[in-house]
Chains A and B, each alone.
Chain A
């Protein structure tokens, strides 16, 4: 994997004394979609701001495309795009001119064909002459994406891209982001919608209180930290766990009528957990314990996230 962004020991303490980033180390690989997960105030936006030039880091280094951002900011910023969390732009500008101006601001010659391509891809072409203020919230957010894409960035930051948009538009946005990846753009998105990270990201980073708690491939993270949980409804209640089942991580619930299995190994396909549940059912049959139903499910990224934030996993 070729790194496209390398952040090393990055700290940011604001003038009021609040430390938003506490020695963040993070490497983003070329071509991936990276989701930075964290609750409000975790430091996500500050981290993005530090890379994009909105925030002055207190210490630490940022390298993009192998070069130091502090000394080569001009050439490097030209290759980075940012879609901010807030719908912040001149609302009186017409869509096409706003997007074209963004291209000009990044020092590129006007390219009507390119702007048309971007607007069509984001379903904004019909609104090209409309003032931005007349568009819906979702459309406005697309305009900000179009503006960020106008200079063909190789690395794109999306700060809470689907905050406040409805489910349909959110899925539409996911499709747009997937298309960007297909075109080779590296995407870093912050979100507190776990579903979003689970749906889109190749890798996930979890940040809280200015510290990166974990970075891993989404599938590996779910496999490593995920749990398989099975609830087996028994035909006859048990008073205690039989000797034949002592090797399994099981407990009794609901007055012995339900056998609860909580094992390791989440992720796609269930990993080791589902295999063990299969072995458990065989052991039940062998021990002559009848059951009427099995409810088996894998823990989601949300469970992992909550556990991490609560310090329940490491």
Chain B
């Protein structure tokens, strides 16, 4: 038998996507509504008062990549973590563990579905944003690639979170208490160049800063840091998550008794 069974992976992927569509109000409409509110409040209302924009870009357009990341990071993490945590919680994971399915099929299925959901959301948000602000994408192919990379990385991270968590509280702690503050403080609504010291230096220790800047570069061709740095750090994070998941499957940590 081969090392990768496409049918098994497709089954997990399809099942996960169907689960998301089953709860479309929660998993698709809610994040879109939230992001729309951000655009209305920060983009149209407050942004309208900011003369000169941010770094030469209209403020409403400036926050588009950051808001996109805010949703992608949160949704990728939540979807993947929930996807693997629920069968662990209900006991339904027995089927996955007893099936001829390894780390590759599991990741393609769960992480692929979570990343797909994020891409769908990203598309909807970009379309929604176009109703509120004028924005353009300087490097659309890079933008797509970067969104895909970040979605996959944080879906992997969410998968790890879903295996680590042993209750619902832990499942929501990381997105709510760590990811969201880091994203808000990571230059979603501003360039960190406008921060006074020492906050500018402190902000540079926030990994989300580099993600936001990376995506902002693909939109406007400019950012606070070189794109190579953002890309390198994202790939490093991806590799770390893949390595950790490989270890989890090898040892059976929190999966197999």
Contact = CB atoms under 8 A, between A and B. Distances in A.
Contact of A104 (B7, B19, B91, B252): B7
Contacts of A52: 94, 97-98
Contacts of B87: 90
A84 B1 contact: no
Interface string A141-164: 000000100000000000000000
Interface in A29-73: 46, 49, 52-56, 73
Contacts of A54: 94, 97-98, 256-257
Given A75-B100, A89-B95, A105 B256 contact: no
Interface string B75-99: 0000000000001001110111111
A107 B3 CA distance: 12
Contacts of A88: 90-92, 94
A109 B11 CA distance: 10
Interface string B1-21: 101010110111011000100
A77 interface: yes
A183 interface: no
Given A78-B1, A78-B100, A105 B257 contact: no
A54 B92 CA distance: 11
A105 B99 contact: yes
Nearest to B98: A52
A235 B7 CA distance: 77
B256 A56 contact: yes
Interface residues of B, number: 28
Contact of A101 (B15, B94, B256, B257): B15
Given A74-B102, A78-B1, A55 B95 contact: no
A88 B256 CA distance: 16
Interface string B215-257: 0000000000000000000000000000000000000100011
Contacts of B99: 77, 105-106
Interface string A87-121: 01110110000000110111111000000000000
Given A74-B100, A77-B99, A56 B92 contact: no
B202 to A, nearest CB: 40
A109 B91 CA distance: 26
Interface residues of A, number: 31
B89 to A, nearest CB: 10
A86 interface: yes
Nearest to B8: A107
A53 B11 contact: no
A106 B105 CA distance: 11
A105 B12 contact: yes
B97 A101 contact: no
A107 B256 contact: no
Contacts of B101: 105
A72 to B, nearest CB: 8
A167 to B, nearest CB: 26
A289 B90 CA distance: 67
A102 B14 CA distance: 12
B256 A53 contact: yes
A102 B12 CA distance: 10
A254 B226 CA distance: 100
Nearest to A48: B98
A107 B104 CA distance: 13
Contacts of A49: 257
A105 B95 CA distance: 8
A13 to B, nearest CB: 11
A99 to B, nearest CB: 11
A193 interface: no
Contact of B94 (A84, A104, A109): A84
A54 to B, nearest CB: 5
B19 A73 contact: no
Contact of A105 (B11, B22, B90, B91): B11
A77 B102 CA distance: 11
A82 B94 contact: yes
Contacts of B22: 92
Contacts of A14: 257
Nearest to A79: B100
A80 interface: yes
Contacts of B10: 104
A45 to B, nearest CB: 10
Closest 3 pairs between A and B when the two form their complex, measured CB to CB? A88-B91, A104-B11, A107-B5
Given A78-B100, A92-B19, 5 more contacts: A53-B97, A74-B3, A82-B94, A101-B15, A106-B99
26 contacts: A46-B257, A53-B256, A55-B257, A56-B256, A56-B257, A74-B3, A74-B102, A75-B100, A78-B1, A82-B94, A82-B98, A86-B91, A88-B92, A90-B92, A92-B22, A93-B15, A101-B11, A104-B7, A104-B8, A105-B12, A106-B99, A106-B100, A107-B5, A107-B7, A108-B7, A147-B95
Interface of A: 14, 46, 49, 52-56, 73-75, 77-78, 80, 82, 84, 86, 88-90, 92-93, 101-102, 104-109, 147
